[in-house]
């Protein structure tokens, strides 16, 4: 991270602390309502959070992986759900820049970045060539931030002619082209509003379809003409930065347990308060170490991604696997630490209205996102070290 980026990151973090009480005060309503509240969205908008990975020409910061990670981690200390949708919007804006220039300029035609969503897995969606456009039909599952988005990106099978083999691609859809299906019923990260979105017989201009290689492949990463944002590696970027909300939530959970430690007893013991127990004190130290390990792992991954995007040499297969291994270590530690904190705080954690219980649900859900969950990502890292084929092409 350059000195200028560090300075801007600290400025944005200071602004996050300024709106933090709004996010924190709305966190319970965000959870109960299964969407980030309007007050929180407006607060995030007011400091430009959704523009972290948007072009400066459109009001963005062109921040990169590390800035997005560090700023949204702080958001996560106030509301993990707000951090999650902030990441999704920024990463989606970055993906849009891998579509033809005419398409992303249309998306940002108001002269400013837009809130966006994206889903990179295809459950049967198609785009069939029709004259000078494509007819799109499909449903995309778990579209985080879709409730707040002006535009959305979905993976799709592109069919150029009758009888032609489908090719992997992506479609850029305006909100007028899709409907939202209310499918997001979970016990954690409820406020992300990750509902399905559906397009039925929608005709889009040809430039709003991009081939899969352009969006997820290394072509932009090798191009001297590409911008820094276009060269950021999407498949490495997403599993790294998406964990910022759970990381911030774990930090908030540790602070919560520490604040209560001087007042709460360990029930059925002589430890009154909790912090008079050596085992409790040791557990606090261990929790802090696990959270630090998670953060340092994610920061190391983000720095690798940004360094590659500064030039035209893509991340090597080894470094891409290393990034995923870092993410695995982060999610594994975050899951463990939340269980540890719940145990030492006590069963009050699981009271229905407990802020700690809500954080426990959010972190444990977010840290298990399929692209970042530790079992698969550790296997990707291990396969690279052993010189064997990874368990997924998405490395």
Q: What DSSP string describes 350-376?
A: GSTT-HHHHHHHHHHHHTT-TTT-HHH
Do residues 370 and 272 both lie within one domain?
Answer: yes
| Domain assignment present for 136 | yes
148 in the same domain as 32: no
DSSP, residue by residue, 187-214: SSSGGG--EEEEEEEEEEEGGGEEEHHH
Residues 125 and 259 in one domain: no
Number of domains in the chain: 3
* Domain assignment present for 60: yes
pLDDT of residue 3: 74
Residues 165 and 241 in one domain: no
Q: Is residue 84 part of a domain?
A: yes
Contact indicator for 13, 74 with CB cutoff of 8 Å:
yes
| pLDDT given for residue 60 in this prediction | 96
> Could you tell me if residue 49 is inside a domain?
yes
pLDDT of residue 223: 97
Q: Does 191 share its domain with 99? A: no
143 within domain boundaries: yes
pLDDT in the model for residue 85: 98
**What pLDDT, on the 0 to 100 scale, is given for residue 269?**
96
pTM value is: 0.97
> Running DSSP on this structure, what letter comes out for residue 179?
E
**CA dist 194 → 37, 91, 173, 238 (Å):** 14, 15, 17, 16
Write down the pLDDT at residue 171: 98
What CATH number did the domain enclosing 156 receive?
2.40.110.10
38 and 122 fall within a common domain: no
Residue pLDDT, tens place only, 363-392: 999 999 999 999 999 999 999 999 999 999
For residue 222, tell me if it sits in a domain. Answer: no
Q: Within 10 A of 199 (CB to CB), how many other CB atoms are there?
A: 23
Task: Let me know whether 201 and 267 are in one domain.
Answer: no
Q: Which residue ranges of the chain lie beneath pLDDT 50?
A: none
In a domain, 393, yes or no: no
60 and 15 together in one domain: yes
Determine the pLDDT at residue 1.
Answer: 75
Q: Distance of CA 192 to CAs 84, 179, 322, Å?
A: 7, 17, 28
Domain boundary residue among 107, 137, 153? 107
91 and 126 share a domain? no
Last residue of a domain, one of 107, 139, 163: 107
Residue span of the structural domain in which 83 resides? 3-107
Confirm whether 144 is domain-assigned.
Answer: yes
User: What was the pLDDT predicted at 2?
Assistant: 80
93 and 173 belong to one structural domain: no
Same domain, 207 and 264: no
């Amino acid at each position: 991270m350059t000195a200028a980026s560090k300075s801007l990151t600290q400025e944005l973090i200071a602004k996050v602390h300024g709106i933090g009480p709004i996010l924190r005060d709305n966190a319970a309503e965000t959870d109960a309502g299964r969407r980030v509240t309007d007050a929180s969205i407006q607060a995030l908008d007011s400091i430009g959070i959704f523009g972290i990975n948007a072009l400066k020409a459109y009001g963005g910061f062109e921040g990169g992986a590390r800035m997005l990670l560090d700023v949204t981690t702080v958001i996560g200390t106030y509301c993990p759900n707000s951090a999650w949708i902030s990441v999704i919007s920024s990463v989606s804006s970055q993906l849009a820049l891998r579509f033809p220039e005419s398409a992303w300029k249309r998306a940002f035609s108001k002269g400013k970045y837009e809130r966006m969503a994206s889903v990179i897995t295809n459950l049967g969606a198609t785009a069939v060539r029709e004259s000078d456009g494509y007819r799109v039909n499909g449903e995309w599952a778990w579209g985080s931030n879709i409730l707040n988005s002006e535009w959305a990106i979905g993976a799709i099978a592109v069919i150029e002619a009758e009888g032609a083999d489908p090719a992997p691609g992506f479609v850029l859809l305006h909100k007028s082209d899709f409907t939202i299906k209310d499918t997001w019923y979970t016990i954690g990260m409820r406020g992300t509003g990750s509902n399905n979105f559906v397009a039925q017989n929608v005709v889009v201009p040809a430039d709003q379809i991009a081939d899969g290689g352009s969006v997820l492949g290394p072509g932009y990463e090798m191009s001297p003409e590409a911008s820094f944002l276009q060269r950021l590696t999407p498949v490495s970027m997403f599993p790294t930065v998406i964990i910022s909300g759970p990381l911030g939530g774990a930090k908030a959970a540790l602070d919560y347990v520490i604040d209560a430690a001087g007042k709460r007893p360990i029930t059925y013991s002589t430890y009154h308060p909790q912090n008079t127990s050596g085992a409790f004190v040791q557990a606090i130290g261990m929790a802090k170490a696990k959270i630090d390990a998670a953060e340092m792992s994610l920061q190391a991954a983000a720095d690798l991604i940004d360094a590659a995007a500064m030039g035209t040499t893509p991340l090597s297969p080894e470094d891409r696997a290393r990034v995923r291994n870092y993410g695995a270590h982060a999610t594994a530690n975050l899951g463990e630490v939340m269980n540890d904190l719940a145990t030492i705080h006590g069963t009050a954690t699981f009271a229905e209205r407990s802020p700690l219980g809500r954080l426990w649900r959010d972190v444990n859900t977010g840290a298990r996102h399929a692209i970042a969950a530790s079992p698969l990502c550790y296997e990707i890292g291990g396969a690279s070290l052993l010189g064997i084929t990874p368990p997924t092409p998405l490395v």
